[in-house]
């Protein structure tokens, strides 16, 4: 018999029909009530065993975590909190589970504990919800761009360039230990590691994306990127997914408009298509909030927070204005900063970004025109201001609870200016001719941004640690499997 998915069954009105459900046992109560989950829904279906007809030896094998197949009649449930249940006629154990050894007991486990058993945490409601939302957001991103005629471009994972110039790269080495390139003293010659070349895992697909944008007009990438992040924060992974649209003929304002539209579109999509999951995550957060002292509790619930984000224009201010706001913040607030920003030129830390968003403007903020010194070489340079300061046409989008979610800019289209900037920043111009060709042959104004996918998933799910929104987090402590 064809398997019926629990999600469909929970919505059915066809009582009396015969179905087969297959899934994993969440709980088994009173030797009679089996709560089965097959992953299609957060909610379980209850199967009611007729213990006069089911063999004792089979009943004994029903434990939390075991896999079962249940065939029976769909009936209306008299129990609280469920509409439908199955009256079991046939019960089969598909896979046994040693309850003593099974780490997932029918109780609430901490996220820290579940992180240690990341390979099994898919079977919990929290991670079912989180990864369903993640999936919906990924789909919505492709949908958004494809509806607008953007071309999905695959950029390389192994590359010779360091797009961000931040030096946070993982080098690619060969596993052929006998044939590693060696220098004269016998040490490994990393410069020649990739068949005679030095390469690393990509930190961003942007530069390659620019090449494509100056032919297709509008493209986007959506793939894994790697950064040897030395810090252990709740916002950084060593392997994360990034969405990087790149558009010819877009100036900074067009770039900001697109980013804001994208974020609102995908959040709307999640609200419309993941209501069960988001309701569950909202409840989970509310439980967490109750553990906090009254004055630290969030006033808004998850769904309200998401809707709020859709209803308001993001605040757009310059870096210079942001510094002024931070400098003018109340002494009490300043005491709370770990790192005090008093001077123009310093890079904002996530505590400052969150202050601007959560306390000052109380909505998402787009910060533009950053000091050239703290941004990458490819950003378009503004003319020097009255005080002789150099800024670039950068834009960072800051979100509540997250800080930076998007980093983007209008790109420098002038070959001369770009080369000058690269030399100032000690970037080997002669190795980047492939990139500079875009500026040599029919250069046009263009812009793009990078959206950190996990930061988006963090925001929409209300989770607080980035390790909890990617199936297999890669951080200094997590890489076993």
Among residue numbers 451 through 470, which ones bind ligand ATP (CB under 6 A)?
Answer: 452, 454-455
The interface mask with ligand ATP, positions 134-153, x = CB under 6 A, is --------------------
CB of 360 to ligand ATP, least distance (A): 19
CB of 281 to ligand ATP, least distance (A): 20
Element (H or E) spanning 207, and its range?
A: helix 206-216
CB of 163 to ligand ATP, least distance (A): 8
Among residue numbers 214 through 273, which ones bind ligand ATP (CB under 6 A)?
Answer: 227, 229, 235-237, 240, 242
How far does CA 100 lie from the centroid of its chain?
35
| Contact partner at residue 406 from ligand ATP, Mg ion, none, CB < 5 to 8 Å by partner kind | ligand ATP
> DSSP 3-state assignment of 395?
strand
| Residue number, 162 or 404, with CB nearest to Mg ion | 404
Among residue numbers 357 through 386, which ones bind ligand ATP (CB under 6 A)?
Answer: none
Binding residues for ligand ATP, rule CB under 6 A, total 16
Residues 146, 310, 329, 345: what is their CA dihedral angle, to the nearest 10 degrees? 10
| Residue number, 165 or 445, with CB nearest to Mg ion | 165
CB of 225 to Mg ion, least distance (A): 11
Q: Which residue in this structure is represented by tokens 């589970």? A: 97
Do the Cβ atoms of 390 and 373 come closer than 8 Å? yes
* CB-based burial, 136-145: b 16+ in 10 Å, e otherwise: bbbebbeebb
> Residue 243 gets which letter from DSSP?
E
Residue with the shortest CB distance to Mg ion: 407
Structure tokens at 3: 């398997």
| Residue number, 282 or 354, with CB nearest to ligand ATP | 354
| Residue number, 135 or 350, with CB nearest to ligand ATP | 350
390: alpha, beta or left, given left = phi > 0 and alpha = psi -120 to 50? beta
| Residue number, 115 or 236, with CB nearest to ligand ATP | 236
| Contact partner at residue 405 from ligand ATP, Mg ion, none, CB < 5 to 8 Å by partner kind | ligand ATP
CB of 457 to ligand ATP, least distance (A): 10
Quickly list DSSP for 247-299. EET--HHHHHHHHHHHHHHHHHHHHHH-HHHHHHHHHHHHHHHHTS-GGGS-S
Q: Rule CB under 6 A: choose which of 6, 86, 145, 164 binds ligand ATP.
A: 164
Element (H or E) spanning 407, and its range?
A: strand 403-410
Q: Rule CB under 6 A: choose which of 42, 86, 406, 418 binds ligand ATP.
A: 406
Alpha-carbon distance of 277 to 437, in angstroms, equals: 47
| Residue number, 229 or 277, with CB nearest to ligand ATP | 229
The interface mask with Mg ion, positions 387-416, x = CB under 5 A, is -----------------x--x---------
> DSSP 3-state assignment of 414?
coil
Which residues are CB-neighbours of 328 under 8 A, at least 6 positions away?
A: none
- In the chain the first and final C-alpha atoms are separated, in Å, by 36
Do the Cβ atoms of 211 and 161 come closer than 8 Å? no
| Residue number, 237 or 278, with CB nearest to ligand ATP | 237
| Contact partner at residue 455 from ligand ATP, Mg ion, none, CB < 5 to 8 Å by partner kind | ligand ATP
CB of 226 to Mg ion, least distance (A): 12
Q: Identify the bridge partners of residue 88 per DSSP, sorted by sequence position.
A: 72
CB of 325 to ligand ATP, least distance (A): 19
Structural Rg of the chain based on CA atoms:
27
Interface residue list for ligand ATP (CB under 6 A): 164, 227, 229, 235-237, 240, 242, 404-407, 450, 452, 454-455
The contact set with Mg ion (CB under 5 A) reads 404, 407
């Amino acid at each position: 018999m064809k398997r019926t998915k629990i999600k469909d069954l929970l919505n059915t009105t066809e009582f009396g029909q015969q179905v087969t459900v297959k899934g994993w046992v969440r709980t088994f109560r009173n030797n009679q009530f089996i709560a089965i989950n097959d992953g299609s829904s957060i909610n379980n279906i209850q199967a009611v065993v007729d213990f006069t007809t089911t063999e004792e030896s089979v009943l004994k094998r029903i434990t939390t975590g075991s896999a079962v197949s249940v065939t029976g009649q769909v009936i209306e449930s008299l129990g609280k909190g469920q509409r439908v249940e199955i009256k079991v006629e046939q019960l089969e154990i598909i896979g046994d589970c040693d309850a003593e050894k099974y780490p997932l007991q029918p109780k609430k486990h901490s996220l820290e504990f579940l992180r240690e058993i990341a390979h099994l945490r898919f079977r919990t409601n929290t991670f079912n919800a989180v990864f369903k939302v993640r999936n919906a957001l990924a789909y919505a991103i492709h949908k958004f761009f494809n509806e607008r005629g953007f071309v999905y471009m695959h950029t390389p994972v192994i590359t010779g360039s360091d797009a961000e110039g931040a030096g946070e790269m993982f080098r690619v080495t060969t596993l052929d230990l006998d044939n590693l390139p060696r220098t004269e003293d016998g040490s490994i010659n990393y410069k020649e590691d990739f068949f005679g070349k030095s390469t690393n895992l990509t930190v961003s697909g942007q530069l390659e994306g620019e090449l494509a944008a100056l032919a297709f007009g509008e493209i986007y990438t959506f793939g894994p990127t790697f950064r040897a992040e030395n810090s252990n924060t709740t916002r950084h992974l060593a392997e994360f997914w990034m969405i990087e649209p790149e558009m010819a003929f877009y100036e900074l304002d067009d770039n900001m408009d697109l980013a804001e539209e994208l974020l609102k579109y995908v959040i709307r999509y999640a609200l419309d298509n993941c209501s069960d999951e988001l309701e569950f995550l909202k409840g989970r957060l509310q439980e967490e909030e109750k553990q906090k002292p009254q004055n630290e509790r969030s006033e808004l619930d998850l769904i309200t927070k998401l809707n709020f984000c859709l209803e308001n224009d993001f605040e757009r201010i310059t870096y210079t204005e942001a510094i002024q706001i931070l400098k003018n913040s109340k002494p009490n607030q300043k005491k709370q900063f770990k790192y005090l920003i008093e001077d123009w030129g310093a890079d904002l830390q996530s505590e400052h970004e969150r202050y601007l968003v959560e306390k000052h403007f109380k909505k998402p903020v787009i910060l533009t025109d950053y000091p050239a010194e703290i941004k990458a070489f490819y950003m378009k340079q503004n003319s020097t201001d009255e005080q002789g300061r150099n800024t670039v046409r950068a834009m960072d989008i800051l979100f509540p609870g997250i800080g930076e979610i998007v980093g983007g800019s209008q790109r420098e289209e002038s070959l001369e200016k770009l080369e000058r900037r690269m030399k100032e920043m000690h970037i080997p111009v002669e190795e980047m001719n492939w990139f500079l060709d875009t500026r040599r042959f029919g250069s046009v104004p263009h812009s793009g941004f990078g959206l950190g996918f996990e930061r988006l998933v963090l925001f929409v799910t209300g989770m607080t640690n980035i390790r909890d929104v990617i199936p297999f987090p890669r951080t200094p402590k997590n890489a076993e499997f």
